[in-house]
Amino acid sequence: MGISILRGSLALGHNGCMPELPEVAGLIGFLQTNLLGAMLTRMQVLSSAALKTADPSYADLQGLRLAAVTRHGKFVDMSLTALGSPDLHGAAAAAADTEAYGAAVAETEAHASTAADTEAHADWTPGPLHLIFHLAKAGWVRYFETPSNAVLHPGKGPIAARLTFDQDSAVRSLDLTEAGTRKSLAVYVVRSPSDVPGIAALGPDPLSADFGVPELAGILAAGSGQLKGLLRNQRVIAGIGNAYSDEILHAARLSPFAIARSLDEPAVRALYDAIGNVLGAAVKSAEGKPASALKDTKRASMRVHGRTGQACPVCGDEVREVSFADTSLQYCPTCQTGGKILADRRTSKFLK
Ligand SMILES: [Zn+2]
């Protein structure tokens, strides 16, 4: 009984389906391509537990246009704004493509932020609202170019929220979905991304230009725990989860249990390079893919994660696993631990 529950939860970790930085980046590109400039005509919340904020109301988003889609760690940030400002309206109408439209919106945002007395502009566009979501373990999106008219029933099925857009008079819809029974998909409607506690607490983005070897060295020196836990901690570094931390440690040839502050200089450099290479390659392969293909792309790219018992593609050794109560990690002994097999809770229990 206990084992089947354990295996059930492990399956989530094993197949590597939880979206991490590269899949979120790919998803953002997809949303930009398909929905930038579209008007959100309707938002339906099917899972009230998923919606974490009450003010502003999600109804306030209706009638606004999607001005930008960005990423904060693993959070997707859809910025929506009205077209009330004469500047923006003219610019948007004249904009032949969505890129110019985005630039026009950005410019108007800059205007709005410098206008201290918004009351002086009765018809001034209110600042943009942000629809932000975190897909958690089993969340994802479904995009429809020809949405169905089937009636949605709150609390039933995998759809947590449905967004309906008008894109040049064509109807498009985007469902935020979550499989499984442990619901942790989170949706926020805020005036500023920093109003989302998980975003306010995020550590640096590992792909940002400011994240260099010295920054990583500082993080490692301040860290008290093991590398695996540190890499997954969103407050320490943003965007890396269970799958890519396995892949990064394998590429860096470091044990998941190595103590962060004990790394010497070459090891810090190797870890830094592995973070950039693994995430960079994954972001590249996610680029231009439809949302529906991103999870398979991720799974296919894994060298050790989710590959227990298979041969390491670098050295041919057998990929091993360490299991925990609700997760597991994979590693290659030859590449990462000098051939040492790490103690596993389940196997050591069975051996007794
Ligand atoms: Zn190996």
Q: How far is the CA of 335 from the centre of ligand 1 (A)?
A: 4
Range(s) of the domain holding residue 68:
17-82+126-200
Residue 7, in any domain of the structure = no
Q: How far is the CA of 112 from the centre of ligand 1 (A)?
A: 55
Please indicate, yes or no, whether residues 232 and 183 belong to a single structural domain of this protein.
Answer: no
Please indicate, yes or no, whether residues 258 and 343 belong to a single structural domain of this protein.
Answer: yes
Q: How far is the CA of 120 from the centre of ligand 1 (A)?
A: 66
Q: Determine which of 162-171, 179-188, 202-211 has the lowest per-residue pLDDT on average.
A: 179-188
What are the pLDDT digits (tens) for 316-349?
999 999 998 889 999 999 999 999 999 886 665 5
What are the pLDDT digits (tens) for 232-272?
999 999 999 999 999 999 999 999 999 999 999 999 999 99
Spatial contact of 107 and 90, defined as CB atoms under 8 Å apart = no
Q: How far is the CA of 337 from the centre of ligand 1 (A)?
A: 10
Question: What token pair was written down for 201?
Answer: 């607490």
Q: How far is the CA of 267 from the centre of ligand 1 (A)?
A: 17
pLDDT bin (cut points 50, 70, 90) of residue 224 is confident
Residue 305, in any domain of the structure = yes
Please indicate, yes or no, whether residues 156 and 231 belong to a single structural domain of this protein.
Answer: no
State how many domains the chain has.
2
Q: What is the pLDDT of residue 83?
A: 73
Average pLDDT, rounded, for the chain: 84
Q: What is the pTM of this model?
A: 0.82
Paired residues of 328 in beta bridges: 323
Q: How far is the CA of 338 from the centre of ligand 1 (A)?
A: 10
E strands, 6-128, in order: 39-45, 65-72, 75-81
Please indicate, yes or no, whether residues 133 and 266 belong to a single structural domain of this protein.
Answer: no
Q: Which residue has the higher pLDDT, 80 or 156?
A: 80
What average pLDDT score do residues 161-176 get? 95
Q: How far is the CA of 250 from the centre of ligand 1 (A)?
A: 8
Spatial contact of 129 and 189, defined as CB atoms under 8 Å apart = yes
Q: How far apart are CA 64 and CA 62, in angstroms?
A: 6
Q: What is the pLDDT of residue 205?
A: 97
Q: What is the pLDDT of residue 177?
A: 94
Q: How far is the CA of 329 from the centre of ligand 1 (A)?
A: 15
Final residue of a domain: which of 171, 200, 229? 200
Q: What is the pLDDT of residue 38?
A: 96
Q: How far is the CA of 252 from the centre of ligand 1 (A)?
A: 11
Residues in the chain: 352
Q: How far is the CA of 332 from the centre of ligand 1 (A)?
A: 5
Q: How far is the CA of 294 from the centre of ligand 1 (A)?
A: 26
Please indicate, yes or no, whether residues 185 and 323 belong to a single structural domain of this protein.
Answer: no
Q: How far is the CA of 320 from the centre of ligand 1 (A)?
A: 10
Q: How far is the CA of 247 from the centre of ligand 1 (A)?
A: 11
